[in-house]
C-alpha cells in the first residue's frame, strides 16, 4: 500500500548533486493512503526550509502547507492599498466569535475598545467578513517557544538511524533550516515511553524496598547516557537558546504507598516528602556534570489524572497534599539550592485541573512565590472550553501558561497514521486556540517513534511528528511536523501576540510582532473549499490570499 505521489513537482537537481549532508528545500513525498503525504528523509534526501530572509517593507512572504501536498511552499508579493470598505464591519454575523463587547471577558474589554476605536467597528453588519484585521498596537502575551520531548523512545529511534540521518533528524527540529525548536522537555527517569520502568534510586532486586533517605545511591540510568544526554548535547549545538524543562514521572517504589511505579494509590509516603524534593536537586546536579543546565522544572507529570486508570508511571497527589509538599519541601529545597533561579512549573496536567487544583495550590501565599508558571497537557481540550485558560490567566496574571505535552493516536488500533492531515489540523487548531488564550508556548510529546508508535514498555503506543523506519534507514516527517513548524519556525522567543480579528468561520488566525519588528500571521483553513481572505494591517496595507483547502499558511512581513 505504497503510492509514490507523481504530482509533487520536479525533484530539484541540487538534491542529486549533494548526496549526504546538505538538506534540499523540497519534500520527497510518499503517500500511504491516509489523506496526505509524509516527506521522506533518507541518506540521499531530506527536505529543509530556507532560512527566513527579511524582505523589503513593501513586500510580504507567504509559506503554505496543505493536505494536497504543499510543504512550506514559498511565495512573495507586494502589499496593496487598503480598500476603504475593509475598515469596517467585521464583528458581524451570528456564529462569529467575540461578537459584542458583552461576549468579551471583562479584562479584554479594554483591548476591544481600543481596537474598536482604531477600526470604527460596526457590530451589526449582515455578512461574515472576509477580512482579517491586524492591529500591531494591541498586544498580549510574550512567547517562550515551541519544542518536543527527549523521551527514551525518541532517543532509541533516533539512535537506530545512521549518523548522517541522526544529524538530519536533529537538524529538522533544531536548526535554522529546520523548524527551530527552542524548548525541550526532559523526563526525570523513566516514562511510559521507556523500554522499562526505572528511577534513579532503584535497587537491583525488584522486591527490595531498601530505603536510602539521603539518596547516596542516586545515579543516572543507562538511558540517560545512551539517549538523553547525547541528544540534548546535539540539540544545544544546533540551537544555543534551547531551554530545557525537567519533568518527573514516578518516584522509587520504596517511596510510594503502593510500592509500584503506577497504579492505584501511587501516592508518595508522607515520610518521603523531603527525600523526593531532594531527588530533583540530585537530578539537576547529575545533568550539570554533563554541562546540561535546566531552565525549568515541573512538580510532576500528570499528578492528578494519571490515576490508577492508566498504566502510566506516576506519583499521584491530591491538590491539598501537593500544596503542602511545594510549600514545605519542594519550594524550599529548590530555593536553597544552587538552582534558585530555575523556573518552577506546577500542575502539569489537563485543562480540568486548572480550577480546583490550581486554586488549592495557590491558596498558600508561599506557593505564589515559589511557582513561576503552569504546565498544561492537551488531552481533555475537546471537552473544556479555552476560556478556562483566560480565567486562569486573569486569576494568576504573573504565572505563565505553557503547553508541555500533546500527541495524537491514542486510539489503540491506529497509533501511527502516516500522512494523516487531520492529525496536523488537530495540532494546529489546538495551537491557535491556546496562543489566542494567553498560552506562551507549546510542546509536542515524543520527538520520534517507530512505525508501531513505540517503544513503550506499557504498550501505550501513539503517533509522533517524526516516524523512524530503522529497517529501511529512513524517517518520515508527518503533517504534524509541518503544522508545528508553521508556528515554531516563525515565532521566535519574545515575540508578542498582537490583535487579529477572530470573526472568520472556517479560518483560524493568530498574529505576532517579532523582536526584530516583523509581523507573523498564521492562518488555518479547515474548509473543503478554497477561501479568499484579505489581511488588512492599518500600518502596512492589504494582502489578498487564496487559502487552499485544508491548509496552514504563515504570512511574514517587516
Ligand atoms: C507553490 O506555490 C506556487 C504559487 O502559488 C504554485 O504555482 C506551485 O504550484 C506551488 N507548488 C506546489 C508544489 O504546490
Ligand atoms: C471613525 O468614525 C468617525 C465618525 O464616523 C470618523 O470621523 C473617523 O474619521 C473614523 N475613523 C477612522 C479611522 O476611520
Ligand atoms: C563541560 O564543559 C567544560 C568547559 O567547556 C569542559 O572542560 C568539560 O569537559 C565539559 N564536561 C563534560 C562532561 O562535557
Ligand atoms: C539551606 O541549606 C543550608 C546548607 O545546605 C542548610 O544549613 C539550611 O538548613 C537550608 N535551609 C533550608 C530552609 O532548607
Ligand atoms: C520500512 O523499510 C523497509 C525496508 O526498506 C520497507 O520494506 C518497509 O516498507 C518500510 N516501511 C514503511 C512503512 O515504509
Ligand atoms: C480554504 O480551502 C477551501 C477549499 O479549497 C477554499 O475554497 C478556500 O478558499 C480556502 N480558504 C482560504 C481562506 O484560503
What does the pLDDT read at residue 547?
85
What does the pLDDT read at residue 505?
61
Proximal ligand: closest to the CA of 30: 5
Proximal ligand: closest to the CA of 417: 5
Proximal ligand: closest to the CA of 3: 5
What does the pLDDT read at residue 180?
98
List, for residues 516-558, the tens digit of each pLDDT value: 999 999 999 877 766 678 888 878 889 998 888 899 999 999 9
Nearest CA to ligand 4 atom 3: 336
Domains and CATH numbers, the chain: 10-54 (no CATH), 79-142+497-557 (2.60.40.1180), 145-490 (3.20.20.80)
Angle at Cα 443 formed by Cα 442 and Cα 446, nearest 5°? 160
Q: How many CA atoms does the CB half-sphere of 117 hold within 13 Å?
A: 8
Between strands 466-469 and 474-477, the pairing is antiparallel
Nearest CA to ligand 4 atom 10: 336
CB neighbours (10 Å) of residue 413? 6
- State how far the Cα of 539 lies from the Cα of 459, in Å rounded to an integer: 53
Nearest CA to ligand 3 atom 6: 291
The average pLDDT across 26-33 equals: 96
The three cell numbers of residue 500 are: 487579529
Q: How far does the centroid of ligand 6 lie from the alpha carbon of residue 371, in Å?
A: 44
- Paired with 350 in beta bridges are 377
Q: How far does the centroid of ligand 1 lie from the alpha carbon of residue 48, in Å?
A: 17
Start-to-end Cα distance in the chain? 45
Q: How far does the centroid of ligand 5 lie from the alpha carbon of residue 286, in Å?
A: 39
Give me the sign of the Cα torsion angle 306, 243, 322, 367. negative
Percent of the chain with pLDDT over 70: 84
> Is residue 439 within a helix (H) or strand (E), and if so which, with residue range?
strand 439-446
Mean pLDDT of the chain: 87
Proximal ligand: closest to the CA of 84: 2
Q: How far does the centroid of ligand 5 lie from the alpha carbon of residue 44, in Å?
A: 16
Nearest CA to ligand 3 atom 13: 290
Nearest CA to ligand 2 atom 5: 120
What does the pLDDT read at residue 85?
52
Nearest CA to ligand 5 atom 11: 469
Counts of helices then strands in the chain (DSSP H, E): 14, 22
Best of 501, 530, 544 to mutate for ligand 6, by most ligand atoms within 8 A of CB? 530
Would you name the residues annotated as active-site residues? 302, 405
**Lowest pLDDT segment from 93-102, 107-116, 137-146, 369-378:** 93-102
- Paired with 450 in beta bridges are 468
DSSP state of 79: P
Contacts of 276 (CB under 8 A, 6+ apart): 251, 255, 268, 315, 325, 329
**Lowest pLDDT segment from 72-76, 385-389, 522-526:** 385-389
Q: How far does the centroid of ligand 1 lie from the alpha carbon of residue 8, in Å?
A: 9
DSSP state of 268: B
Q: How far does the centroid of ligand 6 lie from the alpha carbon of residue 400, in Å?
A: 34
What does the pLDDT read at residue 24?
62
What does the pLDDT read at residue 329?
98
Best of 5, 12, 73 to mutate for ligand 1, by most ligand atoms within 8 A of CB? 73
For the CA of 68, the nearest atom of ligand 1? 14
Percent of the chain with pLDDT over 90: 69
What does the pLDDT read at residue 543?
93
Amino acid at each position: 500500500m505504497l503510492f509514490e505521489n507523481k504530482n509533487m513537482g520536479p525533484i530539484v537537481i541540487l538534491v542529486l548533486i549533494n548526496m549526504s549532508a546538505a538538506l534540499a528545500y523540497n519534500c520527497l513525498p510518499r503517500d500511504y493512503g491516509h489523506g496526505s503525504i509524509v516527506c521522506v528523509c533518507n541518506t540521499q534526501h531530506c527536505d529543509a526550509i530556507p532560512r527566513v530572509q527579511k524582505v523589503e517593507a513593501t513586500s510580504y512572504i507567504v509559506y503554505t502547507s496543505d493536505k494536497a501536498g504543499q510543504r512550506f511552499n514559498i511565495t512573495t508579493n507586494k502589499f496593496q492599498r487598503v480598500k476603504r470598505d475593509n475598515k469596517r464591519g467585521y464583528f458581524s454575523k451570528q456564529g462569529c466569535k467575540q461578537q459584542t463587547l458583552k461576549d468579551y471577558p471583562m479584562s479584554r474589554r479594554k483591548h476591544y475598545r481600543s481596537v474598536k476605536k482604531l477600526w470604527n467597528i460596526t457590530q451589526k453588519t449582515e455578512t461574515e467578513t472576509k477580512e482579517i484585521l491586524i492591529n500591531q498596537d494591541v498586544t498580549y502575551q510574550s512567547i517562550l517557544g515551541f519544542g518536543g520531548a527527549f523521551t527514551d523512545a525518541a532517543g532509541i529511534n533516533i539512535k537506530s538511524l545512521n549518523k548522517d540521518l541522526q544529524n538530519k533528524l536533529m537538524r529538522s527540529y533544531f536548526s535554522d533550516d529546520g523548524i527551530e525548536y527552542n524548548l525541550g522537555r526532559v523526563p526525570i527517569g523513566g516514562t511510559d515511553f521507556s523500554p522499562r520502568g526505572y528511577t534513579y534510586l532503584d535497587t537491583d532486586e525488584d522486591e527490595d524496598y531498601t530505603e536510602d533517605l539521603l539518596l547516596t545511591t542516586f545515579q543516572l540510568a543507562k538511558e540517560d547516557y545512551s539517549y538523553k544526554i547525547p541528544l540534548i548535547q546535539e540539540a544545544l549545538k544546533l540551537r544555543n537558546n534551547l531551554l530545557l524543562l525537567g519533568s518527573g514521572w514516578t518516584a522509587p517504589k520504596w517511596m510510594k504507598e503502593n510500592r509500584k511505579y503506577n497504579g492505584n494509590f501511587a501516592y508518595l509516603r508522607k515520610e518521603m516528602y523531603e527525600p523526593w524534593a531532594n531527588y530533583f536537586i540530585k537530578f539537576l546536579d547529575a545533568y550539570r556534570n554533563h554541562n546540561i543546565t535546566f531552565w525549568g522544572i515541573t512538580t510532576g507529570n500528570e499528578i492528578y489524572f494519571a490515576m490508577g486508570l492508566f498504566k502510566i508511571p506516576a506519583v499521584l497527589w491530591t491538590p491539598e497534599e501537593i500544596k503542602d509538599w511545594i510549600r514545605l519541601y519542594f519550594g524550599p529545597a529548590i530555593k536553597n539550592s544552587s538552582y534558585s533561579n530555575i523556573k518552577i512549573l506546577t500542575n502539569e496536567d489537563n485543562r480540568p485541573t486548572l480550577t480546583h487544583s490550581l486554586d488549592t495550590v495557590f491558596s498558600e501565599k508561599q506557593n505564589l512565590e515559589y511557582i513561576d508558571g503552569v504546565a498544561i497537557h492537551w488531552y481533555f481540550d475537546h471537552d473544556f472550553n479555552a476560556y478556562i485558560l483566560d480565567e486562569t490567566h486573569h486569576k494568576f496574571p504573573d504565572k505563565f501558561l505553557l503547553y508541555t505535552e500533546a500527541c495524537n493516536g491514542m486510539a489503540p488500533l491506529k497509533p501511527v497514521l502516516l500522512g494523516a492531515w487531520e492529525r496536523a489540523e488537530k495540532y494546529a487548531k489546538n495551537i491557535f486556540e491556546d496562543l489566542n488564550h494567553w498560552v506562551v508556548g507549546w510542546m509536542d510529546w515524543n520527538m520520534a517513534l517507530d512505525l508501531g508508535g513505540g517503544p513503550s514498555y506499557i504498550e501505550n503506543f501513539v503517533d509522533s511528528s517524526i516516524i523512524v523506519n530503522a529497517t529501511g534507514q529512513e524517517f518520515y516527517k508527518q503533517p504534524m511536523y509541518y503544522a508545528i513548524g508553521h508556528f515554531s519556525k516563525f515565532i521566535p522567543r519574545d515575540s508578542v501576540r498582537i490583535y487579529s480579528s477572530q470573526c472568520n468561520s472556517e479560518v483560524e488566525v493568530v498574529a505576532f510582532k517579532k523582536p526584530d519588528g516583523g509581523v507573523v500571521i498564521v492562518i488555518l483553513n479547515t474548509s473543503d473549499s478554497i477561501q479568499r481572505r484579505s489581511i488588512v494591517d492599518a500600518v502596512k496595507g492589504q494582502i489578498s490570499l487564496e487559502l487552499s483547502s485544508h491548509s496552514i499558511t504563515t504570512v511574514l512581513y517587516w
